[in-house]
């Protein structure tokens, strides 16, 4: 299903062997427990060791594909084995490209440096979503106020990945509400800050393998040098701090789309294997259903790769990224639902992997910008929907 270089395919094969041996088993354990694996679970130390022996390909020319296409290919394979364990994996995670793009040199070293070459599982986290406005940044209520000692953050965040185990959480807050979105900045809140309270790990129907954390910011004080990009971000970034953050999300949304394709491929393979082994494949209706599933899966993957290719070639891809995110997430839901119908009673009883995939798939239409938000973004760019 791809025409990647030999170097990238060799790396994907390593990810596949790791996923088959460790990731799916760990994901099923977390799902059965109804909670993420604890930070000291042996899986995470083994993961850090795997990453040290098999680092993600860098921009050194060894893998000719660009970073966005590489990320899409790796995310797709990871999510095939378990999307939740992919998010739970130790590392700086989603905020890493944001800090790299918009942070000062000192912040990049201070907050990303500890993740390099470490034997200890550690996490970073990015807090965007709020209880009152979801991922609609125009509705954000979290405020930042400058003081002589630094900044005071007040507000609430919800469903934030890995926030309870992270060394630091990069929190999005509005420093100047009169400027609307342009007044938003990001702040590093380090573990143990007493202003970060009410920490609660949410119960979820799917993707139970990673923490989704809600918390309150109550006069949460951070020093002046914890504002991303410094107090004068124009000296460290060509775009606004808000623009740098949102621009990074256009790329990470492609990664979510790729994860949705991986989950959808897993649902397709499970349905195909069941139909073949049970004899259901003899039914023309089942064969027709599988053909439609494969066609939708291929379309979602090609749409995702197009958005990634545009990112690598510095071609504006905001519509492509939103389109891929919406279509791939819907594909994951459609294929998991079709898989439930093909597997039938065994799936309904909760004894088959496709039932877990059915519960996992819904979240992909929500995280990092809901399907509704993506449709608004597309409408603004395609038909001039007013802001």
- For residues 141 and 154, the answer to whether their CB atoms sit within 8 Å is no
**Is 368 a known active-site residue?**
yes
- How many Å apart are CA 6 and CA 12, to the nearest integer? 10
- For residues 153 and 220, the answer to whether their CB atoms sit within 8 Å is yes
- pLDDT given at position 29: 97
Per-residue pLDDT reduced to its tens digit, 154-212: 999 999 999 999 999 999 999 988 887 788 899 999 999 999 999 999 999 999 999 99
The whole-number average pLDDT for the span 227-255 is 71
- pLDDT given at position 182: 82
The whole-number average pLDDT for the span 354-372 is 91
Encode 301-319: b = buried (16+ Cβ within 10 Å), e = exposed. bebbbbbbbbbbeeeebbb
Record the tokens describing residue 250, joined without a space: 């256009």
Strand partners, 187: 171, 227
Per-residue CA distances from 127 to 91, 167, 193, 275 (Å): 16, 13, 15, 42
The whole-number average pLDDT for the span 258-273 is 98
- How many Å apart are CA 107 and CA 188, to the nearest integer? 10
* Length of the chain (residues): 387
pLDDT at 376 over 60: yes
- For residues 86 and 79, the answer to whether their CB atoms sit within 8 Å is yes
* Average confidence score pLDDT of the chain: 92
Choosing from 130, 270, 330, 368, which is the catalytic residue?
A: 368
Helix (H) or strand (E) segment spanning residue 288? helix 284-312
């Amino acid at each position: 299903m791809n025409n990647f270089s030999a170097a990238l395919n060799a790396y994907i094969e390593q990810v596949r062997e790791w996923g088959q041996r460790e990731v799916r088993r760990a994901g099923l354990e977390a799902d059965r427990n109804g909670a993420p694996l604890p930070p000291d679970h042996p899986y995470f130390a083994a993961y850090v060791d795997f990453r040290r022996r098999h680092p993600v390909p860098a921009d050194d020319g060894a893998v000719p594909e660009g970073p966005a296409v590489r990320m899409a290919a790796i995310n797709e394979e990871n999510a095939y084995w378990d999307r939740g364990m992919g998010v739970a994996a130790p590392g700086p995670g989603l905020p890493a490209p944001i800090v790299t793009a918009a942070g000062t040199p000192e912040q990049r070293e201070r907050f990303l440096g500890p993740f390099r070459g470490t034997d200890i599982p550690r996490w970073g986290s990015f807090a965007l979503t709020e209880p009152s406005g979801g991922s609609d940044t125009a509705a954000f209520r979290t405020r930042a106020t400058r003081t002589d000692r630094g900044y005071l953050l007040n507000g609430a965040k919800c469903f934030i990945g890995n926030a309870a185990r992270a060394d630091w959480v990069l929190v999005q807050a509005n420093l100047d509400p009169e400027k609307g979105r342009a007044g938003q900045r990001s702040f590093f809140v380090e573990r143990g800050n007493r202003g970060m309270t009410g920490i609660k790990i949410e119960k979820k129907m799917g993707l139970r393998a990673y923490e989704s954390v809600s918390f309150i910011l109550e006069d949460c004080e951070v020093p002046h040098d914890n504002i991303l990009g410094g107090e004068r971000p124009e000296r460290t970034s060509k775009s606004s701090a808000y623009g740098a953050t949102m621009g990074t999300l256009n790329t990470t949304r492609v990664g979510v789309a790729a994860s949705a394709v991986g989950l959808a491929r897993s649902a397709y393979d499970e349905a195909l294997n069941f139909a073949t082994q049970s004899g259901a494949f003899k039914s023309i209706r089942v064969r027709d259903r599988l053909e439609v599933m494969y066609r939708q899966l291929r379309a979602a993957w090609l749409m995702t790769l197009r958005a990634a290719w545009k990112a690598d070639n510095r071609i504006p891809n905001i519509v492509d990224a939103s389109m891929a995110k919406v279509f791939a997430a819907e594909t994951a839901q459609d294929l998991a639902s079709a898989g439930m119908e093909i597997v039938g009673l065994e799936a309904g009883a909760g004894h088959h992997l496709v039932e877990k995939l059915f519960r996992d798939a819904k979240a992909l239409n929500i995280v990092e910008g809901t399907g509704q938000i993506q449709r608004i973004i597309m409408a603004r760019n395609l038909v001039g929907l007013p802001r």
